[in-house]
Structure 1
Amino acid sequence: MATKEAPETSTAKAGSAPAPDDPRKPDSPTDVDKPSWKYIARKTLREFTADQCPDLAAGLTYYAIFSMFPALLALVSLLGIFGQAEKTTAALLEIVQGIAPGQAVEMIREPIQELTTSPAAGFTLVIGLLTALWSASGYVTAFGRAMNRIYEIDEGRGFVKLRGTMLAVTLISLIIVALLAAMLVISGPVAEAVGNVMGLGGAFLTVWNIAKWPAIVALVIVVIAILYYATPNVRQPKIRWMSLGSLIALLIFVLASVGFGFYVGNFSNYNKTYGAIGGVIVMLLWLWILNMSLLFGAEFDAEMERGRQLQAGIEAEDTLQLPPRDTKKSDKLQEKEEEDIRLGRELREKYSGKANGHEGKDQDGSDRHNRDADRRNGHGGATAREGNGNSR
């Protein structure tokens, strides 16, 4: 089976890729032609397999496990600002309970409740939050590596720039989630107070209880879009293009989670099969589904960009043509690789010369050995006598 070619270096694309918002590209999804949409759909499915996204999702699940509790600690610390950490985390767990398998929710419920009731929850906002952010950013960094594979480019950002970007993405995402959680609890009394001021009373609260859910979905899409936009080493087009893949990822995740929860609740016997760790297995599978959904949405965004480029006449059938954010690391790695190639060539030529010398010596020794054997067997004398006879 043919393997997928390695992505081009960011150094190469820096000099050849057009601007991310090149005017030749379609300006909105409605400008994308029907043949392009068919190509995008087919290519998304193929690239999802070619990029080994199920394996990437498994790796991201590993990082998610180690980043989950630092992220929860940071989230609880942020919620402590509103003084509603216990209520807001309970509201979040209720939402998750509606789409996730019950065993997966129970695995994280107790640690979260311990964090919210801990007297150190507010104190950790200064020191613990920074430590938790650094640990939680490990998942975001791993997600960025997966995004680089999807966008067919290597990592060109230096350590400081890369870690700074991932920490910023982690912090922004946690702040949005904290605001979302606080909105679920605090918005009720606030909406009721606003309704009383406006003279609408409970009617305004009823409207808000319906309208807040589209707002929550929009915030979740924003978080996913930020992951898609900031983590790979490519200068992305306008972020509105990212929202398409984000919406697809969210829909797939919700549907897959509901289906998986139904399966776990009605047909599976994870507790009987795995005993005490049955809940752990369910949670790992659920996180794997989450990461699969995120990577599929990212593949769609990447192939959407490829379709835009092809429709604009840009040669993107072999590799996506997006300029890198930075090439510093890629330049250094390329220099080291060229140095390794040079040293390897010198080593080969050195030993090739010795091998040729030994071959010549072996050939001379073989000739002398044959002549000595002929003389011992009398062939040499007979040959000489025959030569003398012929001369006479």
Structure 2
Amino acid sequence: MWPRRLPILKIAARTLHTFAETRAIEAAASIAYYALFSLFPLLLLMITFGTSVLRNEQTVDLILDYTANVLPTAQTLVKRNIEQVLALRGTVGVFAAIGLLWSATGVFNTLARNINLAWEGAKQRNFLKSRLVALLMFFTLAALPILSLASTTLFSLLPWLDLDGPLWGGVSIYDTFIWAMAKRLIPWFFIFIMFLGLYRWVPNIDVDWSEAVWGALVAASGWEVAKFGFTWFLRSGLASYQLVYGSLGTVVALMLWIYLSSVVILFGAHLSGAVTYYRKKRT
């Protein structure tokens, strides 16, 4: 339920005002730029950590499945680079891993700083704390594919249970609309949890769960809508990136998708920031 007596229209107006005032559109472009340089170091680290507990093939499949959900335009590009990474992985030493970790957290540092701007009175962290927050964001993101794999494994094991019977009208629950919707909502749920954590812990100010949840709901739903629309746009043939950019077309499409995702993430942050503002003003 929406927090009692909070002015919905004023919250919407303040969200748009702070979103424009902090130049979130330009910030999203900056995040996309840093993400391009952080993406493959991030993947290399995930592969390095993943192959310490899983086989190479399992790790690659896991990362590709996760990439298809988070970066719908870049699966082929990522797969090609992962194959090269696996061929060169033995040359990655301790100092190289530290350098990769530094590069991989660059985008999270920029993202955290711009999320923090959505809350009035939130001070920017110093250099060391900013990098620490970025590092925690990296490990959280790296854990999501593992959780996704666990949920997928759970769903694959559930059909072994005998749930046919009168309760379901003689129809297996696995053939029902409810089951189909549940499988579709699992990826959305993980995205929602990720956004909820971003808006709850990244700002350098106290944020209540009830304030963070509204931005997370809007951002997770908006992100799924944006992913569907962007995927349709690319498949429709309306975009001609290959004709204009040639072999760089996939990279351009990837940057555009990261840019759109960043806009959605920052908008959700400003919505939660507006809810926080009016709740504090009310008290």
Classify the TM-score, shorter chain.
0.7 to 0.9
1:45-65 Cα offsets, whole Å, 9 max, x none, are 222212111100011111111
Partner of 1:92: 66
Code of the residue aligned with 1:68 in structure 2: it is L
Q: Given the alignment, which residue of 135, 140, 162 partners 1:167? A: 135
Structure 1 unmatched runs, 5+: 1-27, 313-392
Change in 2 beyond 3 A, CA 1:120/1:216: same
Give the Cα separation in 2 of the matches to 1:30 and 1:232: 20
Deviations 1:79-123 (A, max 9, x none): 3324421332333344357xx34xx443323113444x54848x9
Q: Output aligned runs, 1:96-245, within 5 Å.
A: 96=70, 100-101=72-73, 104-115=74-85, 117-118=86-87, 120=89, 131-153=99-121, 155=123, 157-184=125-152, 186-192=153-159, 195=160, 198-200=161-163, 211-237=182-208, 239-245=209-215
The letter of the residue matching 1:29 is W
Aligned-pair CA distance for 1:146: 0.9
1:65 aligns with 2:36: yes
Give the stretch that moved more between structures: 56-65 or 88-97.
88-97
The aligned counterpart of 1:294 is: 265
Question: What percent identity do the matched residue pairs reach?
Answer: 23
In 2, are the aligned partners of 1:225 and 1:242 still within 8 Å (CA)? yes
Deviation string, structure 1 residues 56-75 (Cα, Å, up to 9, x no partner): 00111111111111221222
3-state SS of paired residue (2:117): helix
Alignment match of 2:2 (pick from 15, 25, 29):
29
**Pick from 48, 54, 69: which aligns with 2:19?**
48
Distance 2:5 2:217 in 1: 18
Please point out which of 235, 242, 248 is paired with 2:218.
248
Please identify the structure whose Cα radius of gyration is greater. Answer: 1
Tell me the C-alpha RMSD between the 2 structures.
3.2
Asked whether the equivalents of residues 71 and 132 of structure 1 are also in contact (C-alpha less than 8 Å), the reply is yes
Q: Which amino acid aligns with 1:231?
A: V
Residues 113-144 of structure 1: CA deviation (Å, up to 9, x unaligned): 444x54848x9798776554332221111112
The alignment partner of 2:203 has SS state of coil
Q: Which residue, out of 249, 266, 271, partners 2:242?
A: 271
Q: 1:153 to 1:138 in 2, by over 3 A?
A: farther
Distance 2:250 2:130 in 1: 35
Asked if 1 retains the 8 angstrom alpha-carbon contact of 2:50 and 2:59, the reply is: yes
Structure 2 SS opposite 1:29: coil
Is the contact made by 1:222 and 1:243 (CA closer than 8 Å) also made in structure 2?
Answer: no
**Correspondent of 1:285 among 256, 266, 274:** 256
- The range that moved more, 173-182 or 270-279, is 173-182
**Deviation of the 1:289 alpha carbon:** 0.3
The 5 A counterparts of 1:285-364 are 285-312=256-283
CA drift at 1:286: 1.0
Distance 1:150 1:89, change over 3 A: same
Alpha-carbon spacing, 1:82–1:241, altered in 2? closer, same or farther (3 Å)? farther
Total equivalences in the alignment:
271
Per the alignment, do residues 280 and 42 of structure 1 end up closer, same or farther by CA in structure 2, a change over 3 Å counting? same
CA distance in 2, matches of 1:153, 1:69: 35
Contact 1:157 1:233 in 2 (8 A): yes
Residues 176, 219 of structure 1: 8 Å contact kept: yes
1:355 maps to none
Partner Cα separation in structure 2 for residue 55 and residue 141 of structure 1:
16
**Residues 124 and 280 of structure 1: CA distance in aligned 2, closer, same or farther (over 3 Å):** same
SS at match of 2:204: coil
Q: What's the CA shift string for 1:285-323, capped at 9, x where partnerless? A: 1111010110011111101111212333xxxxxxxxxxx
**C-alpha separation between the residues in 2 aligned to 1:120 and 1:276?**
26
Gaps of 5+ in 2: 165-171
Instruction: For 2:149 and 2:212, locate their aligned partners in 1 and report how far apart those are by CA, in whole Å.
Output: 24
